[in-house]
Amino acid sequence: MLTLSGALAEMAWPAILSKRDTFREVFMDFNPVLVAKLNEKKFLAPGSPASSLLSEHRLRIIIENARELLKVIEEFGSFDSYCWSFVSNKPMVGSYRHTREVPLRTAKADAISQDLMRRGFLGVGPTVVYAFMQAVGMANDHLVTCYRFEECLDIKAAAAAATDGYGDSCKPAAVSEQEVSMLCGLVQCVALEPSRAATVISIS
């Protein structure tokens, strides 16, 4: 999902999602081990499947980030664990009524962006990071009128109940990152306006 969020520097969410299967094929099911070992000359060659998706600059960034991602996984066990540690393993909840109220970046996104860049990641400015947080359910920015808003609150409540007595450091297995992503990710929500999505760009 970080790869797709990073693509916002050149494409809007609707265009990215329409090519999601192509992204998955080109980047080998988003397997960082395989992406990190790509033959860049062949991968970036004019006319290659990858060259039809993004610029050479953006493609190089994805390959380099895959290499840095492996280091994070080695240190934290998973990229999920690393990311969720910044929000105490609980989704942040906004209570917005209008899309114009939804921020393009937050202090948490700034912190994650700075740490990622410190670790050698590229193209991970605060707005790209926040788009990633929204996409995977770390930030519930569904409008309060959106049918998914309450669903995400239910997941948050279930997570809080499951962690009673264990502390914030324990993210409940019963409410996995994948479940949060599936039910709370803004990229799956009809409330996300394409016009707003198109304005999200990297400022790294």
Cα 105 from Cα 111, distance rounded (Å): 10
Cα 110 from Cα 130, distance rounded (Å): 8
Q: Which residues contact 67 (CB under 8 A, 6 or more apart)?
A: 32, 36
Cα 106 from Cα 91, distance rounded (Å): 14
Alpha carbons within 13 A on the beta-carbon side of 27: 27
Cα 106 from Cα 140, distance rounded (Å): 13
Q: Is 146 annotated as a binding residue?
A: yes
Tell which phi-psi region holds residue 189, choosing left (phi > 0), alpha (psi between -120 and 50) or beta: beta
Q: Is 83 annotated as a binding residue?
A: no
Report the binding-site residues for Zn(2+).
142, 146
